[in-house]
Amino acid sequence: MNNVIVTKTNKFKNNAVSVLIPLEVNEKVTDYNLISLIIKRGCNKYKNTRDVWQRLQDLYGAVFDIVISKKGEKLFLNFYIQCIKNKYAIYGEDILKEAIELLNEFVNHPLIIDGQFNPQYLEQEKENLRILINSRIDNKDEYAVERATEICCEGEPYAIYKYGDLERLKEINNMDLVKLWSEITNNNPFYFLICGDVDESETKELIHKVFNKKAVESNKYVNINREFKTKEVIERMKVKQGKLTICFRSNIDILNGDYFALAVMNSILGGGTHSKLFNEVREKNSLAYYCYSFVEKFKGILVVAAGIDSDNFTKAKEIIIKQIDEIKDGNISNKEFESAKSKLISDFKTIKDSQYSLLDYIGTLRSYGINYSIEDIINQVETVSLERIIEAGRTLQLSTIFFIDKEE
């Protein structure tokens, strides 16, 4: 089964399993979020939070969660469980098998009564989701980045907020949600990821037996170049510190072009204390409380985020853009080059320190048709040359400048 990925390791005392379901980012994002919240409340066998908690205690304190994340133009629904290794079970129980069966209960046997999800759960989780959507503005740092990328990708699926919108939330009815979940479980690809001290062939057979899901074809996404005009948007809020976000578009992503050169280029730009943004914007010119950059690897967007005093808006913007130009012109020191690679490699190695992070990262890549391991990625980073970094930098085009300014 090409949709079952086993990462065998003795590094952890636990085994971990993820059932990853990729969904398209579209008008149903709100529905997907609401479904995940309702299903987490209980299934046919364990009908409420108390029953679920008791079952997890029976599994020696297993950890269970359902998480939604947006990566590129896909939304990922992740059913995750972490449990002790079988050898630690006091009475010789097959804990891994029982954990996988529990995941199957939530995925394939959610709590449905007379063709509907529990109406009480539906109303409670609608309210919880409404609060969550409304609260996005509370964290101004995150909000600034989200709004900037929405403006940058206006008219594209990526511009849809990961938790959905309030208008759609009002329209959702119970029967439609049940129908939608049936469509997902019958038609969408599933990826099963296991990390721990397990037998690969036995685990794959167990997954096949419990879930009976066929192998899948990975959906490869193509980053389409679009014409755009540079936009500058200012919003005023009750803030003490201005939030500046600048987005650059590129024709490079992890599926297209020299992504690893772009990743190292981003590290040089704003990937840590070695970077140009940290040293030029924050340290040398004292223009920012923080300043960093990151690449959305599935979308080909480079984002710079900074917290600044409002009076420094113009100067900070100019110096940030200048750092991109410095890279395009090849003004990169050997120290910046080596430090950027080292930091990036260290970050990738850190992914392996968390079973959840590792399964989530590898599973997301696999769903996009990419079979890289963490070691493969590190090897790719090590081969990146200075010339490739400069070429990657030259693909960047200024797209969006977004600023949250204090109210006058």
pLDDT tens per residue, range 240-294: 999 999 999 999 999 999 999 999 999 999 999 999 999 999 999 999 999 999 9
23 and 148 in one domain?
A: yes
Among 162, 181, 211, where does a domain finish? 211
Angle at CA 14, nearest 5°, toward 13 and 20? 150
Host domain of residue 249: 231-406
* Residue 217 domain-assigned (yes or no): no
* Spatial CA neighbour of 291 closest among 260, 312, 263, 264: 312
* Residue 218 domain-assigned (yes or no): no
376 and 246 in one domain?
A: yes
pLDDT value of position 193: 97
* Residue 108 domain-assigned (yes or no): yes
pLDDT value of position 407: 86
Question: Cα dist. 269→74, 106, 220, 235, 278 in Å?
Answer: 27, 43, 29, 26, 8
- Cβ(75)–Cβ(162) below 8 Å: yes
Local structure of 39: helix, strand or coil? helix
273 and 131 in one domain?
A: no
327 and 188 in one domain?
A: no
* Residue 221 domain-assigned (yes or no): no
Amino acid occupying residue 300: G
* Residue 244 domain-assigned (yes or no): yes
pLDDT value of position 2: 79
193 and 136 in one domain?
A: yes
Among 178, 211, 244, where does a domain finish? 211
CA 82 to chain centre: 19
260 and 202 in one domain?
A: no
Q: Tokens representing 310?
A: 């409002």
The reported pTM is 0.94
Number of other residues whose CB lies within 10 A of the CB of residue 158: 20
- Cβ(397)–Cβ(250) below 8 Å: yes
Please provide the DSSP assignment of 81-94 as one string. Answer: EEEE-GGG-TT---
Count of domains observed in the chain: 2
275 and 181 in one domain?
A: no
* Residue 219 domain-assigned (yes or no): no
111 and 38 in one domain?
A: yes
In sequence order, the 6+-apart residues with CB closer than 8 A to the CB of 27 are 160, 168
247 and 202 in one domain?
A: no
Residue ranges for the chain with pLDDT beneath 70: 1, 214-227
Among 211, 246, 264, where does a domain finish? 211
φ, ψ of residue 173 to 5 degrees: the values are: -120, 160
pLDDT value of position 408: 74
205 and 98 in one domain?
A: yes
207 and 235 in one domain?
A: no
What CATH number is associated with residue 252?
3.30.830.10
Question: What's the pLDDT tens digit per position in 355-371?
Answer: 999 999 999 999 999 99
163 and 81 in one domain?
A: yes
* Residue 224 domain-assigned (yes or no): no
* Residue 117 domain-assigned (yes or no): yes
